[in-house]
Amino acid sequence: MKLPPLKIGNLIAPIPLIQGGMSVRVSTSALAAPVASCGGIGVIGGSGIDVRELRDDIRRAKEKSSGVIAVNIMYAMKNFYELVVGSIEAGVDFVITGAGFSRDIFKIGKSYNIPIAMIVSSPTLAKLAERLGAAAIIVEGKEAGGHLGTDQSLRSIFPPIRKVIKKIPLIAAGGITDGYEMAEMMDTYGADGVQIASRFVLSEECDVDDAFKQAYLRAQKDDIVLTSSPVGMPGRALKTPFIDKLAQGFDLKSKVCRYQCLKKCDKHYCINERLRASRDGNIEEGLFFSGENTFKMKKILPVAEIFRQFISQAESVYKEKRTPVSAS
């Protein structure tokens, strides 16, 4: 059965698949544009970079693709509102946000007529976001990479949120690695689409250093661990020498705060510095955020082939009539 399109506000993506927005400089226009051209929603990671760089990258993505381009910006960023407004002025189609909750973001979306999607992990925040004007809700479970808002699995938190969100699209995110799981979330759980991040790191178009991709390919299940973040949230990442030192209590504070990026930072290390190191392939010093199921993925593929596989797998089992599981 053919997959339905994903409608967010006045936007329509032919394929109900959002590419997760990964910062710093992991998902750039180089990745977002081909994703959008394949019919999904391409997302630029908008955290940890300056407004000018983000605007320029959005414009590049829009020039390369006529599809839907979004930006993901963490509310925890000190220049959050500047990044949001700068993205809108650059022509982004909609804004995704998480890692904190902003009420004012919905006023900005309304004033610019730009859809806002909120990443949540609870029915309470989902209902609040819908009431304030969210155009879509992304439900993210513990299986996701990066900052986590819950220690519960996607399949346990999705049903109670599905029960209370009826009027806007509900997107499932966290640990989804193939089209069969995509169809499961849409058929069994009633998702309107899925968001996938780690799979797209292992794409030819993702322009991180090859050492980053090889670290993903080498990863076994036990190599993907929970760690701490200066943001004040747990994070899921690859086990590396930096993560080992962090766990052992080494003093990893930066002597000078070069980026002044976070509203609140406990400064036990510089996350911007560590994420930039991973993007550049520095295995010793980098922080390599990773989804819980990255170990299942063993090939670097073109974005178009990733889409072909997801679509063919999902449509081979997808049913038009959904039967969402009940919230317990």
As for how many domains the chain has, the answer is 2
Express each pLDDT in 77-99 by its tens digit. Answer: 999 999 999 999 999 999 999 98
Do 62 and 142 share a domain, yes or no? yes
CATH number at residue 93: 3.20.20.70
The reply to whether 1 falls in a domain is: no
**pLDDT surpasses 60 at 156:** yes
Do 74 and 19 share a domain, yes or no? yes
pLDDT number for residue 257: 87
How much of the chain exceeds pLDDT 70, in percent?
Answer: 97
Do 113 and 224 share a domain, yes or no? no
pTM: predicted TM-score of the whole model, two decimal places: 0.96
77 lies in which domain range? 6-206+299-317
Residues 111-130: what's their mean pLDDT? 97
pLDDT number for residue 258: 85
The reply to whether 327 falls in a domain is: no
The reply to whether 324 falls in a domain is: no
Residues 304-315: what's their mean pLDDT? 98
Do 163 and 14 share a domain, yes or no? yes
In angstroms, how far is the first alpha carbon of the chain from the final one? 29
Do 95 and 39 share a domain, yes or no? yes
**pLDDT surpasses 90 at 321:** no
The whole-angstrom separation of Cα 127 and Cα 123 is: 6
Do 141 and 69 share a domain, yes or no? yes
Do 53 and 118 share a domain, yes or no? yes
